[in-house]
């Protein structure tokens, strides 16, 4: 059983390809746009005594770090993991990153200039034309956790409440943010590169700018893959991880509509031009492996903020 937080439109084809190549059947459990990754993490925790999941393909990293801290992941050092930079893999092999997205501003170019100066000016005024996904989940939670680590909890709470007073729209997911901006209902917002490129493919008037930390680094969020401790399908699980961490699959993800950025070495002549542009930003990504404590503290506050 594979628990998969990556969009089924991309991941199901890849997992079916694995079955075709190996003959190993794969049962897949996906999650919803609003709660993806966090919902699957909670399921793995709840099932710890009798695990149902063999391999966890997460579309972010912090939930995976949580599972590793709880001792729920079984280390495996795939030979293909050696092609991935160290900052995107666990030292003991509990998880490995591949195929990344970047956090960015999506900007409607019919409504504002796609420059850092224009964004900074917009952030100082009425934000009723800005949208973000609810930060309880997914990559927006990762961004908030990073901000918590950099700014401190009190400063982030003040910052968040100020933006709320300025009227920004908090919606159910990054795809909703993309739609609001692409359709001109908002001027700009936070989303991920995969959603941005869906708007580009639909010929929407959009541009992107990377979101940067206080130190000027980008936020590069990898997929992660890991084996769940207690699996009775260890050999098959290892073969799937070897497959997902291959150059072949990173290139497939890069050439899909999501344009995910390869983290390992690949034949760059096989990359789309848009992904080549993203590679430079990805190389500037801040390491995320030490954010678990900040994530837990931040999530506790966000649950108080958003849940009844």
Q: Which of 147, 104, 115, 148 is nearest to 261 (CA)?
A: 104
Sign for the CA dihedral angle at 254, 206, 191, 147 comes to positive
Domain membership of residue 213 (yes or no) is yes
What average pLDDT does the structure give for the chain? 95
pLDDT of residue 308: 77
pLDDT by residue (tens digit) across 245-271?
999 999 999 999 999 999 999 999 999
pLDDT attached to residue 7: 87
Which CATH number belongs to the domain containing residue 234 in this structure? 3.40.190.10
For 136-168, the DSSP string reads: TSHHHHHHHHHHHHHH-HHHHHHHHHHHHHTT-
Q: 148-197: per-residue pLDDT in tens?
A: 999 999 999 999 999 999 999 999 999 999 999 999 999 999 999 999 99
At 101, is the secondary structure helix, strand, or coil? strand
- Whether residues 173 and 203 fall in one domain: yes
Residue 289 belongs to some domain of the structure: no
pLDDT at 33 over 60: no
Residues 161, 202, single domain; the answer is: yes
Rounded to an integer, the average pLDDT of 1-5 is: 95
DSSP-derived pairing of the beta strands 55-58 and 2-4: parallel
* Domain total in the chain: 2
pLDDT tens digits for range 44-89: 999 999 999 999 999 999 999 999 999 999 999 999 999 999 999 9
- Expressed as residue numbers, the domain containing 177 is 101-218+294-306
């Amino acid at each position: 059983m594979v628990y998969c937080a990556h969009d089924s439109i991309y991941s199901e084809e890849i997992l079916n390809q694995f079955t075709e190549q190996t003959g190993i059947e794969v049962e897949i459990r996906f999650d919803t746009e609003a709660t993806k990754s966090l919902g699957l993490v909670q399921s793995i925790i709840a099932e710890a005594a009798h695990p149902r999941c063999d391999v966890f393909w997460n579309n972010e990293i912090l939930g995976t770090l949580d599972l590793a801290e709880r001792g729920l992941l079984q280390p495996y050092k795939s030979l293909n993991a050696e092609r991935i930079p160290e900052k995107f893999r666990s030292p003991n092999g509990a998880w490995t990153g591949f195929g990344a997205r970047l956090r960015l501003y999506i900007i409607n170019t019919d409504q504002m200039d796609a420059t850092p100066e224009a964004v900074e000016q917009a952030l100082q005024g009425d934000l009723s034309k800005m949208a973000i996904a609810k930060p309880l989940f997914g990559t927006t939670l990762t961004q908030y956790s990073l901000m918590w680590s950099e700014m401190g909890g009190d400063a982030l709470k003040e910052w968040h409440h100020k933006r709320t007073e300025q009227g920004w729209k908090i919606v159910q997911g990054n795809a909703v943010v993309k739609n609001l901006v692409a359709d001109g209902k908002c001027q700009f917002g936070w989303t991920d590169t995969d959603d941005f490129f869906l708007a580009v493919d639909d010929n929407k008037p959009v541009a992107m700018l990377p979101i940067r930390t206080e130190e000027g680094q980008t936020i590069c969020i990898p997929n992660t893959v890991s084996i769940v401790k207690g699996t009775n399908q260890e050999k098959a699980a290892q073969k799937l991880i070897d497959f997902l961490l291959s150059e072949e699959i990173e290139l497939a993800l890069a050439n899909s509509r999501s344009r995910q950025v390869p983290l390992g070495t690949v034949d760059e002549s096989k990359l789309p031009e848009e992904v080549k542009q993203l590679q430079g930003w990805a190389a500037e990504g801040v390491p995320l492996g030490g954010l678990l404590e900040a994530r837990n503290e931040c999530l506790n506050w966000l649950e108080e903020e958003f849940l009844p």
